[in-house]
Amino acid sequence: MQKSLLIDADKCTGCLQCEMACSVSAEGSFNPSKSRIKIFPFHDEGVFVPYTCTQCDEAWCLHACPVEAIQLNKETGAKEVINDLCVGCKVCTISCPFGTINYNADSGKVIKCDLCGGDPECAKACPTDAITYVDANWTGYDKMKASAAKAIPGQPAS
Partner 1 sequence: MSWTKKVLRVNLTEGSCTEEPLNMEWVEQFLGQRGLATKYLLEEMDPKVDALSPENKMIFTTGPLTGTMASTGGRYSVVTKSPLTGGLACSNSGGFFGNEMKNAGWDMVIVEGKSATPVYLSIQNEKAELVSADEYWGKSAWETEEGLKAKHQDPLLRVATIGVSGEKGVLFAAVINDLHRAAGRSGVGTVMGSKNLKAITIRGTKGVGNIKDPARFFQATQEAKKVLAENPVTGEGLPALGTQVLMNVINEVGGMPTRNWQDSVFEGASKISGEAMLEARESDGKANLTRNGGCFACTIACGRISTIDPEHFTVKDKPEYQIASGGLEYEASWALGCDTGVDDLDALTFANFLCNEQGMDPISLGSTIASAMELYEMGALTKEDTGGIELNFGSAEALVKTCELTGLGEGFGAIIGMGSQRMCEKYGHPELSMTSKGQEFPAYDGRAIQGIGLGYATSNRGGCHLRGYTIASEVLGIPIKTDPADSDGKADLLKAFQDATAAFDSAGICIFTSFAWTLENVAPQLDAACEGDWTPERLAELGERVYNLEREFNYAAGQTGADDALPPRLTKEPVKQGPMKGQVNELGKMLPEYYAARGWNADGTIPQETKDRLGL
Candidates 28, 97, 154, 156: give the one binding partner 1 (CB under 8 A).
28
Identify residue 70 by its one-letter amino acid code.
Answer: I
Tell me how far apart the alpha carbons of residues 71 and 80 are, in angstroms, rounded to a whole number: 5
Size of the site for partner 1 (CB under 8 A): 27
Determine the distance from the C-alpha atom of residue 65 to the mean position of all C-alpha atoms in its chain, rounded to a whole number: 20
Pick the closer one to partner 1 by CB: 33 or 54: 33
30 touches partner 1 by CB under 8 A: yes
Within 13 Å and on the Cβ side, how many CA atoms surround 124?
10
Identify which of residues 23 and 55 has a Cβ nearer to partner 1 in the complex: 23
**Of the candidate residues 99, 127, 135, 142, the single one contacting partner 1 (CB under 8 A):** 127
Could you say whether residue 156 binds partner 1 (CB under 8 A)? no
List Cβ neighbours of 41 (8 Å cut-off, separation of 6 or more): 14, 47, 48
Stretch that binds partner 1, among 27-35, 83-91, 93-101, 112-120 (CB under 8 A): 27-35
Contact window for partner 1 (CB under 8 A) among 54-62, 77-85, 124-132, 137-145? 124-132
Q: Cβ neighbours of residue 10 under 8 Å, at least 6 residues apart?
A: 130
With CB under 8 A as the contact rule, which of the stretches 41-49, 77-85, 91-99, 136-144 interacts with partner 1?
Answer: 41-49
Read out DSSP for 37-87? SEEEEEGGGTEEEEE-----SS-HHHHH-TT--EEE-TTT--EEE-TTT--
Give how far the C-alpha of residue 153 lies from the chain's centroid of Cα atoms, to the nearest Å: 38
**Contact pick of 6, 7, 20, 61 for partner 1 (by CB under 8 A):** 20
**Which residues bind to partner 1, rule: CB under 8 A?**
13-17, 20-21, 23-24, 27-34, 43-48, 106, 125, 127-128
